[in-house]
Amino acid sequence: MTRFNPNLAAVSASPIMQATAWVRETALPEGLPLIDLSQAAPASPPPKQIREQLARAMLEDDSAHFYGRVLGNDALRLAVADRTAALYGGAVQDNQVAITAGCNQAFCVAVATACGPGDALALPYPWYFNHKMWLDMAGIHCVPLPTGPDMLPDPASIDALPDNVRAIALVSPNNPTGAEYSETLLQAFYERARDSGRLLILDETYRDFHSAPGAPHGLFTNTDWPEVLAHLYSFSKAFRMTGHRTGALVTGQARIDQAAKFLDTVTISAAQPGQIAALYGLTHLTQWVEGERNVYLQRRRLLESLMAQHLPNWKLHGAGAYFAWISPSGDAPAEQTARTLLAEQAILALPGTMFLPDGMGSTAMRVAFANADDQGLAETVNRLVAYERQHA
pLDDT > 90 in the chain, percent: 91
CA dist 113 and 99 (Å) reads 15
Instruction: Kindly tell me the burial class for residue 270, based on how many C-beta atoms sit within 10 Å of its own C-beta (0-12, 13-18, 19 or more).
Output: buried
Higher pLDDT, 11 or 247: 247
Instruction: Give 211-263 as a DSSP string.
Output: SSSS-S--GGGSTTHHHHEEEEEESTTTTT-GGG--EEEE--HHHHHHHHHHH
Nearest CA among 153, 252, 247, 167 for reference residue 207: 247
Q: In this predicted structure, what is the pLDDT of residue 140? A: 96
pLDDT band per the 50, 70, 90 thresholds, residue 43: confident
pLDDT band per the 50, 70, 90 thresholds, residue 13: confident
**pLDDT tens track for 145-199:** 999 999 999 999 999 999 999 999 999 999 999 999 999 999 999 999 999 999 9
Residue 117 has pLDDT above 90, yes or no: no
Give the pLDDT mean for 209-230: 96
Instruction: Give 356-368 as a DSSP string.
Output: S-TT-----EEEE
Q: Sheet harboring 165-171: ordered strands across?
A: 97-100, 247-250, 229-234, 199-203, 165-171, 120-124, 141-145
Average pLDDT, the chain: 95
Q: In this predicted structure, what is the pLDDT of residue 230? A: 98
Q: In this predicted structure, what is the pLDDT of residue 82? A: 97
Instruction: Kindly tell me the burial class for residue 217, based on how many C-beta atoms sit within 10 Å of its own C-beta (0-12, 13-18, 19 or more).
Output: buried
CA dist 333 and 351 (Å) reads 9
CA dist 346 and 343 (Å) reads 6
Q: In this predicted structure, what is the pLDDT of residue 59? A: 95
The answer for residues whose C-beta is within 8 angstroms of residue 219's C-beta and 6 or more apart is 88, 90, 186, 187, 190, 202, 225, 229, 231
Nearest CA among 301, 221, 225, 267 for reference residue 104: 267
pLDDT band per the 50, 70, 90 thresholds, residue 321: very high
Instruction: Kindly tell me the burial class for residue 191, based on how many C-beta atoms sit within 10 Å of its own C-beta (0-12, 13-18, 19 or more).
Output: middle
Give the CA radius of gyration of the chain.
21
CB 272 within 8 A of CB 111: no
Backbone phi and psi for residue 212, each to the nearest 5 degrees, phi listed first = -90, 135
**pLDDT tens track for 332-379:** 999 999 999 999 999 999 999 999 999 898 999 999 998 899 999 999
Q: In this predicted structure, what is the pLDDT of residue 39? A: 85
Q: In this predicted structure, what is the pLDDT of residue 347? A: 96
**pLDDT tens track for 63-93:** 999 999 999 999 999 999 999 999 999 999 9
CA dist 171 and 154 (Å) reads 14
Q: In this predicted structure, what is the pLDDT of residue 217? A: 97
Q: In this predicted structure, what is the pLDDT of residue 51? A: 96
Amino acid at 391: H
pLDDT band per the 50, 70, 90 thresholds, residue 12: confident
